[in-house]
Amino acid sequence: MNTLFTEAEQFLRTLDSKWAAHVQAIGPCLHQPRPQRDPYQALVRAIAYQQLHVKAGDAILGRFLALYPGSDFPSPEQVLATPAEQLRACGFSGSKLVTIQGIAQARQQGVVPDRAQALTMTDEALIERLISLRGVGRWTVEMLLIYTLERMDILPVDDFGVREGYRRLQGLDTQPSRRQMLELGEQWRPYRTVAAWYLWRVPNPRV
């Protein structure tokens, strides 16, 4: 993977002078996937953190995991057997609770694949299958593809940090639209994941 990162860095430097200067300033790509987490676990974790600061998400996830001593992460069966009021007490909203229970049920039914199955599926096939679940959007599945399945060519064009990073990098007045980001991203293939990693790290001159 490190060799691929190096290749990606060299490729991004060739895009234009601003990309070259940014990659030089940030240094080597330190992207850290979490391949030990299967898709079910990754989805539940993503929902726990959705629309929250990291500290708040950490606290909720910590209380959730504490319900299941002796296991690194609860199985779908354990989650479905847990009374709703106990899960709500962890800090989950009613909507997130329903989503997490739905993910657990979908794993039992085989809709959410295990890691081995997921690795055989294309990006779009996995996205199409998982966004059918209540509360699971395209961005959530893209994070799974990037961090759990270690896909190297994913660009989350709806991600605020990616779009804002590109705006700052190029000195634009407004963020590019979703369609514009899709078109721009075509130039970054097959290293769009690493491009996103660098865009997340474009400094904000106002801070």
Count CB atoms within 10 A of the CB of residue 76: 19
Give the list of residues 6+ apart from residue 67 with CB closer than 8 angstroms, or none. 74, 82, 86, 87, 90
Please tell me whether residue 59 adopts helix, strand or coil conformation.
helix
**E strand or H helix that includes residue 127:** helix 123-130
Count CB atoms within 10 A of the CB of residue 198: 24
Q: What is the C-alpha to C-alpha distance for residues 183 and 203, in angstroms, rounded to an integer?
A: 23
Which residues are marked as active site? 159
